[in-house]
Amino acid sequence: QVQLVQSGAEVKKPGASVKVSCRASGYTFTTYYMHWVRQAPGQGLEWMGIINPSGGSTSYAQNFQGRITMTRDTSTSTFYMELSSLRSDDTAVYYCTRQAEVGTYYTVNWGQGTLVTVSS
């Protein structure tokens, strides 16, 4: 079965960077796009971007342009999301979530989430 296992919680200072990982298993890694979504405490879901694991191409939400980098390592079936120049309002739970099927526009499988806390 599809499993997405994310890295553990992080505490960062303002201005620092954070890199969250998402290890995928149970399917062919290069077939399905991976999305990243975040949720600030008590707030709604926010779409951050998407990566094609086959060639590594990415598209990012405008709100994160210039601060976000999504990568993947096909040798370990792991996705990464790095966010730089962290601010207090980047404190959130970050999720990876996989495209349901090729050519679809929704996701089914989600990681367990990674809490990133930005505090001085």
Q: Using CB under 8 A as the criterion, which residues of the chain lie in contact with another protein when the complex forms?
A: 35, 37, 44-47, 49-50, 59, 61-63, 95, 97, 100, 104-108, 110-113
Ramachandran category for residue 15: left, alpha or beta (phi over 0 → left; psi -120 to 50 → alpha):
left
Closer CB to another protein, residue 76 or residue 112?
A: 112
Cβ atoms 39, 95 nearer than 8 A = yes
Closer CB to another protein, residue 17 or residue 43?
A: 43
Q: How far is the CB of 13 from another protein (least distance, A)?
A: 26
Q: How far is the CB of 50 from another protein (least distance, A)?
A: 6
Q: Helix, strand, or coil here: 67?
A: coil
Rg (CA), the chain: 14
Cβ atoms 107, 51 nearer than 8 A = no
Compute, in degrees rounded to 10, the torsion defined by CA atoms 68, 72, 76, 78. 50
Closer CB to another protein, residue 47 or residue 80?
A: 47
Closer CB to another protein, residue 5 or residue 16?
A: 5
Q: How far is the CB of 75 from another protein (least distance, A)?
A: 26
